[in-house]
Amino acid sequence: MENYYLGVDVGSVSTNLVLIDDENNILCKKYLRTQGKPIEILKEGLKELKEEIGDVNILGAGSTGSGRYLADLIIGADIVKNEITSHAISSLNFIPDVQTIIEIGGQDSKIIIIRDGIVVDFAMNTVCAAGTGSFLDRQAYRLGIPIEDFGRMALKSNNPVRIAGRCAVFAESDMIHKQQLGHNQEDIVWGLCQALVRNYLNNVGKGKDIKGPVMFQGGVAANMGIKRAFESQLGLEVFIPEYFDVMGAVGVAMLARNEVKKKKFSNFKGLEIADVDYKVRGIECNGCANACEIVEICGDNKILARYGDKCGKWSNIKNENTKLA
């Protein structure tokens, strides 16, 4: 039987799972919408995985994404790694001489600068969501266009409308004004793609030395309009890897494989965890003025973890008998 490694990327918008083998071939991938229910969706993903591939040997697992610690609790990861490193690892595997990675996800966007196979600089968006996927999602909704058709529509335009991309709120009002002036929809959509790219390059990519080969990944890479906008603004060809939407998960699966080979055992709990009944409870602790928001995760009535407190009052207790509040 072949050996496989599981990579899990729990992001704000999507939860991705992949299985890779020793040669980095991807056996199967799952791209699911997180919908604010990371645990349920993760379980669903594992269940689908199990149904699809049947009984295989999974030797190790890794988790990444903003929900990586949560995912670790559920699956028992061998390695928990941040998104930047995971993305860099997987991109380097697909294009070894990649120099720039553009990653645009739902809530955050990143730029990773690589030279000679090493991450030398990176940046993530700050407190603003204007250069991210949710910006496009929102505007597509506003225009009444399914996000899946967005890119194709943008490609039809020859005459983009300039839309302010600095702030999602201003962009929306600017877009409405342009609509009311009678511009056609293709041009507005193409203008939005350009606005996102402009904002990304001015905000996240500010002062970064962007050199080719450039790789573009993350959920937004499905949008051909954005790819076209990047290519026209950078003057460089932009590559989109085959598994652009699960690159983070692939990277962490690769890291998990290395880790397991090094330590010779795995913490992975097996795909059976899809059947475990997880419950999450949250309370606001009233022990002090911090009023921390405590989260408790139970699996089959056993407390797996508590976190969210600043003082350790809750996270240190693992005793089942101590109930929350």
Binding of other proteins by 244 (CB under 8 A): no
Segment contacting other proteins by CB under 8 A, of 140-148, 212-220, 233-241, 283-291 = 283-291
The continuous run of DSSP H or E covering 250 comes out as helix 247-263
Q: Decide whether 53 or 128 has the Cβ nearer to other proteins.
A: 128
Binding of other proteins by 262 (CB under 8 A): no
Binding of other proteins by 289 (CB under 8 A): yes
Segment contacting other proteins by CB under 8 A, of 39-47, 80-88, 151-159, 185-193 = 80-88
Of 37, 69, 40, 16, nearest to 253 (Cα)? 16
The footprint of other proteins on residues 16-75 (CB under 8 A) is: 66-67
Min separation Cβ 237 and other proteins, Å: 23
Of 242, 183, 251, nearest to 215 (Cα)? 242
Binding of other proteins by 149 (CB under 8 A): no
Angle between helices 147-156 and 185-203 (to 10 degrees): 100
State which of residues 9, 78, 83, 245 lies at the interface with other proteins (CB under 8 A).
Answer: 83
Min separation Cβ 88 and other proteins, Å: 8
State which of residues 144, 182, 207, 312 lies at the interface with other proteins (CB under 8 A).
Answer: 207
The continuous run of DSSP H or E covering 49 comes out as helix 38-53
Q: Decide whether 213 or 276 has the Cβ nearer to other proteins.
A: 213
State which of residues 33, 288, 300, 318 lies at the interface with other proteins (CB under 8 A).
Answer: 288
Binding of other proteins by 286 (CB under 8 A): no
Segment contacting other proteins by CB under 8 A, of 36-44, 79-87, 135-143, 259-267 = 79-87
Q: Decide whether 86 or 139 has the Cβ nearer to other proteins.
A: 86
What is the Cα–Cα distance from 128 to 148, expressed in whole angstroms? 24
Segment contacting other proteins by CB under 8 A, of 18-26, 52-60, 78-86, 173-181 = 78-86
Q: Which two tokens stand for residue 89?
A: 């690892």
Binding of other proteins by 314 (CB under 8 A): no
User: DSSP string covering 144-212, please?
Assistant: T--HHHHHHHHHH-SSPPP---S-HHHHHHHHHHHHHTT--HHHHHHHHHHHHHHHHHHHTTTT----S
Min separation Cβ 46 and other proteins, Å: 22
In this structure, are residues 119 and 133 in contact, taking their beta carbons and an 8 Å threshold?
Answer: no
In Å, the largest CA–CA distance within the chain is 66
Binding of other proteins by 169 (CB under 8 A): no
Instruction: Centre a 10 Å sphere on the Cβ of residue 186 and count the other Cβ atoms it contains.
Output: 19
Of 138, 307, 311, 150, nearest to 324 (Cα)? 307
Segment contacting other proteins by CB under 8 A, of 77-85, 147-155, 190-198, 297-305 = 77-85
Instruction: Map residues 96-135 to x or -, x wherever contact with other proteins holds by CB under 8 A.
Output: ------------x------xxxxxxxxxx-xx--------
Binding of other proteins by 282 (CB under 8 A): no
DSSP letter for 299, please. E
Residues in the chain: 325
Amino acid at the residue 325: A
Q: How far is CA 13 from CA 104, 105, 107, 127, 133, in A?
A: 11, 8, 7, 17, 9
For other proteins, the binding residues (CB under 8 A) are: 66-67, 81-85, 108, 115-124, 126-127, 207, 288-292
